[in-house]
Structure 1
Amino acid sequence: MCGAFYVAMGVNLEGVRDVLGIWVGPSGGEGAKQWGTMLSDLKNRGVQDVCTVCCDGLKGLPDSIRAVWPDATVQTYVVHLVRNSLRLSSRKDWGKVTTGLRRIYTAPTITAA
């Protein structure tokens, strides 16, 4: 039986993407402490500064990120935000909910959203 693989990708200021690390995680699931260890590993290998980190809604993960890179902005993936919103609505309303949310997350400004 194999655990999950965890991947950290980076995009530099020129827009070049790179895989920064791949780790085999424990079979019991991921945790913020585990991610904290992996993020510290990245910093120790030379990732000095991070502007924005996009991640899922794992509890404690923003704190683990800020412990390594205090000035990093942490954002939740839009797909996770939408999925979590759908859990709170009836299936028959999913179309209306996703249409409304799309208007918000594609808005050009916070005021427009």
Structure 2
Amino acid sequence: MENRGVNNILIACMDSLKILPEAISLVYPKVKIQSCIIHQIRNSIKYVISKDSKKFMKDLKCVYRAVQDLSELQYLDILSRKWTSHTSNRGLHFTTLK
């Protein structure tokens, strides 16, 4: 990208490859790295049993459709408590990045 004339990147949205954020940050030190919401959803849904996936997706939509930061965190907390305690979904873990 630098060879094609890109001087600076403000935000880079990517999947969870470990080395890619580090590589981009070396070339563009001011870049802010964000995880792609589609990849986050795919990574979350794989831990939910298929019979619960529609219910989980409905709850998850409340998180990423929230209007204010405070409500996003509240919805994430509700989602976390509901789905991590569900016995069939032991692989789910929710964290916030601030």
Residue 60 of structure 1 deviates from its aligned partner by: 1.5
Query: What is the CA deviation profile of residues 3-61 of structure 1, one whole-angstrom value per residue up to 9, with x for unaligned ones?
Result: xxxxxxxxxxxxxxxxxxxxxxxxxxxxxxxxxxxxxxx11321011111111111211
Identity of aligned residues (%): 33
Aligned length: 72
Query: In structure 2, what is the equivalent of residue 32 of structure 1?
Result: none
Secondary structure at the residue paired with 2:68? coil
Partner of 1:49: 8
Distance 1:69 1:109 in 2: 29
Alignment counterpart, residue 101 of structure 1, candidates 60, 70, 90: 60
Gaps of 5+ in 1: 1-41
User: Which residue number in structure 2 is paired with residue 78 of structure 1?
Assistant: 37
Q: Which residue number corresponds to residue 111 of structure 1?
A: 70
Task: Say which structure is richer in strand.
Answer: 1
- Identify, as 1 or 2, the structure richer in helix: 2
User: Deviating runs (4+, > 3 A) in structure 1?
Assistant: none
The structure, 1 or 2, with the larger RCO (C-alpha pairs under 8 Å, 6+ apart) is: 2
Alignment TM-score, normalising by the size of structure 2: 0.66
